[in-house]
Amino acid sequence: MTERFDAIVVGSGAGGGVVAGELAERGRSVLLLEAGPHHSAADHMRWEARANHEIWFPVAFAEPPAPDQPPVPLFRGRCVGGTTTVNTKVAVRPDAEDYSKWYAAAGLLGRDGEPFAEDDLLPYLERVEQRLGVRPRTDWQRCVTAVEPGFEAIGAKLAPVMSYTDPNCMRCGSCMQGCPTNAGKSTLNTYIQPAVVFGGLELRAGCEVRRVLIEDGAGRPQATGVEYLGPGGDLQQALADVVVVATGALATPGVLLRSGVREIAGGSPSSRLLGRNLGFHAARLIAGLFDERMDAHMVYPISSHCKQWQRDADGGFLVEAATVQDPIGFATGLCDEQGLPMWGQALVEVTRRYRHISSLLTMVNDENTGVVWVDEDGRDRYSYGWNEREQQRLDASLDTARRILEAAGAKRVLPTGVVSTHVQGSCRMGSDPERSVVDANGESHDVMRLFVGDSSVIPRTLSVNPSLTIMALASRLAAHIDADERGYLGTGARMLTPA
């Protein structure tokens, strides 16, 4: 027996969790396949190594353009809820400049055939914000109030972040191990679980999708289902009227390439763009070592930010305050004042002063110069290569954070290397098939009934934390699929059919 659904959604993170939940709530039968495990709040605890092992992907690296340059570590969750289960839940709407970059990059048009703009996304942003209970975090602790004067000293202002955490947040600091109270609103506890209980959502964790099944349909290729490895390692198939791939910007290109989309499309311009234009929103933590205790490990990690330099013309970066990594991440990522990795006695001395650290997080606007590709062994690989403007923003953001911390009285300022937690853009959405992989509704230009519903569709890297936008785009996609303009949802029923 092969099962049949209205929709199969692959990946349960910011994008996939919302598409699957909303389609199920609209009465569609949905199969949600997730490679990682299903952990609830009761399973989460402040045990960094265990969480890294159980609910995160092993750290991947973007390879450098030259051997003397460092690789860029890439972080993401691997569990039901995806990266929303382990992220810090800051919710920021895109800036007007972000939307104009989307049109410039891929000719993305909105409802009225005009360049895509805020009006096209606003109803979905509002809907997601309401569901997640987005609220301002004004409950700043010592680690934030201590750095605030440093911002003021250089003429900048800190503001509370908006966040998808509810008032049950105990400020325990363990967001990245999964929230133990459900105060942190992942897609698991807002979209997926309610749809499993009340709607038509079938959730299967521990199921890794190998490929999308693509067949000839009335002269055009069309997606008909997926092939996946079940929890026991057995190969299974499921069929559906539409397939939504939402495995994240690092994994989605590989899923589509291994499904043969490029070959089936005869190497069309859109299929050649699969995996191109990967953006990183490259980040760095800059640790300030203070005389007094900060205890930045026992707070809600990111409660404030400064948007003064957000637009390209103003510098092209965001600064968030203030946090400290958990001990393993802290000790393995820290560099000295010269930017060289710390180790030995010097590292021991700084680590002993862990409770005195308050760090700023910088994230820079990038121009999507990275690539995802599949090597001859079938493995996903990644590369980066900053252009001059990206490098200038990285340097300026580090310099600014250093000045802020010194002005706030930090005795030492120690950065990490560049990392990425906000990958985007590897299957660009656009109205121009020469410059995009999926159309303005998220459907493949090459394969009918095949949609992409995650961070990969963002045409140009956002200047803000991306998850709210990814969820809003996913909500928009669910509305589009459900409206069924193309008449894809033929069966409309949850049923089993013989293979």
Ligand X SMILES: Cc1cc2nc3c(=O)[nH]c(=O)nc-3n(C[C@H](O)[C@H](O)[C@H](O)COP(=O)(O)OP(=O)(O)OC[C@H]3O[C@@H](n4cnc5c(N)ncnc54)[C@H](O)[C@@H]3O)c2cc1C
Quick one: 353 or 480, whose CB is closer to ligand X? Answer: 480
Task: Find the length of the chain.
Answer: 499
CA 69 to chain centroid, in Å, comes to 25
Are 289 and 412 in contact by the 8 Å Cβ rule? The answer is yes
| Least distance (Å) between residue 44 CB and ligand SF4 | 8
Indicate which of ligand X, ligand SF4, none lies near residue 15 (CB less than 5 to 8 Å, by partner kind).
ligand X
Are 330 and 324 in contact by the 8 Å Cβ rule? The answer is yes
Site for ligand X in 437-496 (CB under 6 A): 454-455, 465-468, 470
Does 82 interact with ligand X (rule: CB under 6 A)? yes
| Least distance (Å) between residue 160 CB and ligand SF4 | 15
Does 241 interact with ligand X (rule: CB under 6 A)? no
Indicate which of ligand SF4, ligand X, none lies near residue 442 (CB less than 5 to 8 Å, by partner kind).
none
Quick one: 195 or 410, whose CB is closer to ligand X? Answer: 195
Quick one: 56 or 290, whose CB is closer to ligand X? Answer: 56
Q: Six-digit token pair at 322? A: 């203030």
Among 183, 257, 302, 408, binds ligand SF4 (CB under 6 A): 183
| Least distance (Å) between residue 321 CB and ligand SF4 | 15
Q: Which residues, including other chains, have CB under 8 Å from residue 379's CB and lie 6 or more apart?
A: none
**What is the DSSP code string of 9-65?**
EE--SHHHHHHHHHHHHTT--EEEE-SS----GGG--S-HHHHHHHHBPPPEEEEPS
Does 140 interact with ligand SF4 (rule: CB under 6 A)? no
Residue 269, amino acid: P
Q: Which residues, including other chains, have CB under 8 Å from residue 381's CB and lie 6 or more apart?
A: 63, 372, 373, 374, 375
Site for ligand X in 46-75 (CB under 6 A): 75
Burial class (CB within 10 angstroms; exposed 0-12, middle 13-18, buried 19+) of 379: exposed
Alpha-carbon span 98 to 425, nearest angstrom = 13
Quick one: 88 or 397, whose CB is closer to ligand X? Answer: 88
Among 169, 418, 419, 440, binds ligand SF4 (CB under 6 A): 169
* Stretch touching ligand SF4 by CB under 6 A, among 99-107, 168-176, 386-394, 475-483: 168-176
Among 100, 141, 181, 441, binds ligand SF4 (CB under 6 A): 181
| Least distance (Å) between residue 175 CB and ligand SF4 | 4
What residue is closest to ligand X based on CB?
13
How distant, in Å, are the alpha carbons of 85, 175, 315, 384, 394 from that of 391? 31, 30, 11, 12, 5
User: Which ranges in 249-387 belong to alpha helices (H)?
Assistant: 252-258, 261-264, 269-272, 327-333, 344-352
Among 72, 176, 239, 289, binds ligand X (CB under 6 A): 176
Does 172 interact with ligand SF4 (rule: CB under 6 A)? yes
3-class state of residue 495 by DSSP: strand
| Least distance (Å) between residue 360 CB and ligand X | 15
| Least distance (Å) between residue 251 CB and ligand X | 4
3-class state of residue 325 by DSSP: coil
The continuous run of DSSP H or E covering 492 comes out as none
Q: What angle do CA 146, 281, 208 make, to 5 degrees?
A: 115
Name the site residues for ligand X (rule: CB under 6 A).
Answer: 10-16, 33-36, 75-78, 82-84, 86-90, 176, 208-209, 246-249, 251, 255, 302, 421-422, 454-455, 465-468, 470
Name the site residues for ligand SF4 (rule: CB under 6 A).
Answer: 165, 169-175, 179, 181, 183-184, 300
